[in-house]
Amino acid sequence: MNDMVGIVIVSHSKDIAKGTADMVRQMVGSEVRVAFCGGDPDGGLGTNVSLIIDAINDAWSPKGVAILVDLGGAETNSEMAVEMLQPERRNLVVVCNAPIVEGAVMAATEAAGGSSLEQVRAVAEELSAG
């Protein structure tokens, strides 16, 4: 099988991040790499740059990684995480402007078909374009 774009889910809540990843695995299948992170290290709500970097590296694929986020800080911290990646990986990671659950399921469905990172992002973002 060809490489598939990986998916990273970043929520303020670890439960939401994990639940979204479960939905992707159950609905789309386990052939797409999915990683998630959420919550601060003390168990509260929040997002954390180094955990996001770990998740990106976990979901890594030569075709790239699409990140789905929930609110404000998840997006800015994800962008910061991308900036801190190894230079050769930076251009292969995008933060999608899409609702986290629907975007993750649709992005993973597109990724499972072997689509490029740009196609995966476009499918996830179709939801907010309408």
Partner 1 sequence: MMLETSTANGEIITGSVRLIHAAGMHARPAVKLTKLAKKFHAQISIRASEAADWINAKSVAKVMALRAARDSVIEIKASGTDAEAAVAALVDLVATDFPDTGQ
**Which position among 16, 67, 110, 117 is part of the footprint of partner 1 (CB under 8 A)?**
110
Q: How far is the CB of 115 from partner 1 (least distance, A)?
A: 8
* CB 124 within 8 Å of CB 106: yes
**27, 40, 83, 118: residue in contact with partner 1 (rule CB under 8 A):** 27
Q: Is 12 a catalytic residue?
A: yes
Q: Is 80 exposed, middle or buried (0-12, 13-18, 19+ CB in 10 A)?
A: middle
Place of tokens 């639940």: 19
Amino acid present at 103: G
**Short-list 128, 130, 3, 2, CA closest to 68:** 128
Number of Cβ within 10 Å of residue 79's Cβ equals 16
Which of the residues 29 through 68 are near partner 1 (CB under 8 A)? 29-31
Tell me which of 11, 12, 59, 107 is the catalytic residue: 12
Residues in the chain: 130
Q: In angstroms, give the least distance from the CB of 28 to partner 1.
A: 6
Q: Return d(Cα 3, Cα 33) in angstroms, integer.
A: 10
Q: Which stretch, 52-60, 63-71, 74-82, 109-117, contacts partner 1 (CB under 8 A)?
A: 109-117
**Considering beta carbons, is residue 72 or 114 the nearer one to partner 1?**
114
Q: Kindly state the smallest distance separating residue 77's Cβ from partner 1, in Å.
A: 27
Would you name the residues annotated as active-site residues?
Answer: 12
Chain positions contacting partner 1, by CB under 8 A: 27-31, 105-106, 109-110, 112-114, 123, 126-127
